[in-house]
Amino acid sequence: MVRQCRRGGLAGARGSPTGASDRGVLRGERDDGPGRPLPGHPAAAALRPRPRPARVRARGVGSECAAVPGERFSGSARLAGAPSSRRSRLKRLLILPGAALALWLAAVLLITDRSLPVRDPRRFKNVLAVFPHADDETVHCGGSLARFAETGASVTLLLLTGGERGNPAGVIDPALAAVRRRESERAAAILGVTRVIQEDFDDGQLRQHTDAVESVLSRRIAEVRPDLILTYDLAGFDGHQDHVACSQVLTKLCRAQFPAVPLWYVALPARMLRLLVLVGQVADDSRAAQRRVTPTHRLFVGSAIVPKIRALSAYRSQRGSIGKGLGRIIPAWLPVSMLQFEYFADAG
């Protein structure tokens, strides 16, 4: 199209010399009025009103221009492809998050053991979690504790040591024990834990005080009167001596004095354990592997994964121990968000 500015306009046929001459020749040849040519006369086409050209406004141009049909022109007409271009850019921007979501879903399906039955957390109204150190409960069953709390259960957390050796050097740090106590209280509040009981056994020394530990556990269980107890399995998950001692003493006590109270060991499917060993999050300990239990059931965590991630963030002093191997590179919330179920084994 040829753009003709409003200022110039289009040359009309009535202003042409030919038009004037034709009107002069044809004047008086019809009775219906002067100046009108006969139909079919060549001047009739020239005098016929032409359609008014469409006016468009070019981007960045202040004046309007007339687009004459049948002619080509560039400029604002090219803007017709702009919406399509924007849609293409939007599609490209959505590819990356879409691919990330697909990978996340694939990882969830890969690590989930769908062969195990799902237990209903609403069956239990008074849950007791027993662990040696602050953060053990959040790492291994924080989502389940939050789910129990959501269903209205009373959740009690019993920590046996102050965790004063929870530093890279493994040396006693009394100030660290106070820090970890405050962190455990914040994490418990996030998870909805009703009560935190902090004992003061020496970190790393539970095996040397099994009789005293058994006495304390017996008194606390009688006091809380739980209908479910959670703790480590006899392998202590990763073979830590405090984890193992806690499980051994509690298992023996429950079988002897509280056989009617269900005891659940925190556990992981074999596929997930192999993955954790591969990324360096769990040590490849053959002795621990021999005593490690196989999960018998699972608990759906779902939205409770959010408070679990927040509770993990509350343990700032333990970020080095929580993030091992690739965990130092990958943010902790990413693999934790994939654990839509937490796994347990009946102590029997």
Output the DSSP codes for 106-165. Answer: HHHHHH--TTSPBPPGGG-SEEEEEESSTTHHHHHHHHHHHHHHHTT-EEEEEEEE--TT
Cα dihedral 232, 237, 243, 247 sign: positive
Quote the pLDDT of residue 29.
44
Quote the pLDDT of residue 251.
97
Report yes or no on 68 lying in a domain. yes
Helix (H) or strand (E) segment spanning residue 343: strand 341-346
- Pick the closest to residue 137 from 177, 175, 187, 181 (CA basis): 187
Cα(206)–Cα(204) distance, integer angstroms: 6
Contact 339, 158 (CB under 8 A): no
Which residue type does 211 have?
Answer: D
Report yes or no on 78 lying in a domain. no
Q: C-alpha distances in angstroms, 94 versus 99, 106, 126, 221, 337?
A: 9, 18, 46, 53, 22
Report yes or no on 102 lying in a domain. no
Quote the pLDDT of residue 51.
61
Tell me the residue length of the chain.
348
Quote the pLDDT of residue 297.
97
Statement to judge: residues 278 and 218 lie in one domain: yes
Statement to judge: residues 65 and 123 lie in one domain: no
Statement to judge: residues 33 and 180 lie in one domain: no
Report yes or no on 308 lying in a domain. yes
- Pick the closest to residue 148 from 191, 196, 112, 117 (CA basis): 191
Statement to judge: residues 227 and 334 lie in one domain: yes
Report yes or no on 272 lying in a domain. yes
Cα(330)–Cα(323) distance, integer angstroms: 8
Cα(270)–Cα(283) distance, integer angstroms: 14
Cα dihedral 103, 107, 108, 114 sign: positive
Statement to judge: residues 155 and 301 lie in one domain: yes
Cα dihedral 73, 76, 82, 84 sign: negative
Q: Strand, helix or coil at 77?
A: helix
Statement to judge: residues 163 and 256 lie in one domain: yes
Where among 46, 73, 100 does a domain terminate? Answer: 73
Statement to judge: residues 195 and 52 lie in one domain: no
Quote the pLDDT of residue 282.
74
Q: Work out how many domains the chain is built from and give that number.
A: 2
Helix (H) or strand (E) segment spanning residue 66: strand 64-67
Statement to judge: residues 197 and 266 lie in one domain: yes
Statement to judge: residues 300 and 218 lie in one domain: yes
Quote the pLDDT of residue 83.
67
Quote the pLDDT of residue 40.
58
Show the tokens assigned to 165. Answer: 């050796």
Which CATH number fits the domain that encloses residue 313?
3.40.50.10320
For each of the chain's 348 residues, which pLDDT tens digit applies? Answer: 444 444 444 444 444 444 444 444 444 444 444 555 555 555 555 556 666 655 545 444 444 444 445 555 455 545 555 667 777 777 777 788 888 888 888 888 888 899 999 999 999 999 999 999 999 999 999 999 999 999 999 999 999 999 999 988 889 999 999 999 999 999 999 999 999 999 999 999 999 999 999 999 999 999 999 999 999 999 998 889 999 999 999 999 999 999 999 999 999 988 888 887 777 777 777 777 788 899 999 999 999 999 999 999 999 998 866 555 555 677 777 888 888 999 999 997
Report yes or no on 57 lying in a domain. yes
Would you list the DSSP string of 176-222?
HHHHHHHHHHHHHHHHT-SEEEEEEEPTT-GGGGHHHHHHHHHHHHH
Report yes or no on 97 lying in a domain. no
Phi, psi of 229 (to 5 degrees): -125, 135
Statement to judge: residues 68 and 129 lie in one domain: no
Contact 302, 245 (CB under 8 A): no
Statement to judge: residues 69 and 124 lie in one domain: no
Show the tokens assigned to 97. Answer: 């998050």
Report yes or no on 20 lying in a domain. yes
Sheet strand arrangement including 263-267: 195-201, 154-161, 126-131, 228-231, 263-267, 341-346, 297-300
Contact 109, 37 (CB under 8 A): no
The boundaries of the domain holding residue 296 are 117-346
Statement to judge: residues 60 and 188 lie in one domain: no
